[in-house]
Amino acid sequence: MPTLLITGSTGLLGSKLVRLAGERYQVVGFGRAAPEGPPLNYDFRAVDIRNRRAVTALTEQVRPRLIIHTAAMTAVDRCETSPREAEAVNVAGSEHVAAAAAVTGAHLVAVSTDYVFDGESGPYQENDATNHISTYGRTKLEAERRIAAICPTACIARTSVLYGAGPGVRSNFVLWVLGELRAGRPITLVGDQTGSPTLADDLAGLLLGLAELGATGIFHTSGSEPINRFDFGCRIARTFGLAAGLIRRGTTAELHQPAPRPKHSGLVVEKVTHRLGRSPLDVDAGLAALKRQLEAAER
């Protein structure tokens, strides 16, 4: 059975990949530390991605056929206030993974973001000019460039507004909205930030599909429907039978966030649709799938 190495395997996306690939691959995952709770059902190693020697040693030991690189510092405001940490994780960490892949001959698929764009004219295609406006976007774009320089056959998979649920994973936009609306608390969501919401389970399938095809270059791997945060919140409420009247439309300027956000972002997914022979989920299909998951978990 071939080996698949997953960085950030205890995160939302990484855990979805572990579950999806477990029957077809010998899965090895790593992160800074194992999460608390029941034992993991795969070969987990505590490795800090910022430690080049440790990343290289593990990769040379397990000799993976495929590497899917999901580990990243994705908290956009924290990246803005802690740029050195963001660079160490997102840039240096990605360079370490790419170098290890190059040494072992593993095919690398690395996850990136629509925040490499400035959000002036989205949704974006793969060959549109990049222009980051935040530390997070800058570090992820630099990671793309270093990965491509070290591993010219690597695949860069950009995504947008990742959401989903799973044991031990941290909250995300959809789970936060659900929690607030279920508690009857009013919330403000911006109507001037557009992205392409992406169910983590669906993204895991796209990434594994690209890895198995040996895809190279840049692919946009997000949900298929761009939508602003306010309208997305209303669709969440509708899907889960909650009160959309609790949602107020606001603006980005009202939030006073440390990091600027791309306003008119989102990704065009025609290329990955053609390559894999299926379209990523749209907003309603993704939310319906999440609803089924959450209901099943409550039984």
* Residue in 173, 178, 217 with CA at minimum distance from that of residue 199: 173
Q: Which helix (H) or strand (E) holds 210?
A: helix 200-213
Q: Which of 255, 263, 258 is nearest to 76 (CA)?
A: 258
The contacts of residue 159 (CB under 8 Å, 6+ apart) are 111, 112, 113, 114, 198, 203, 220, 221, 222, 267
The answer to whether 136 is a known catalytic residue is yes
Angle 255-90-274 (CA atoms, 0-180°, nearest 5)?
90
Of 42, 115, 124, 136, the active-site residue reads: 136
d(CA 244, CA 273): 32
3-class DSSP state for residue 208?
Answer: helix
CB 201 within 8 A of CB 12: no
Residues forming the active site: 136
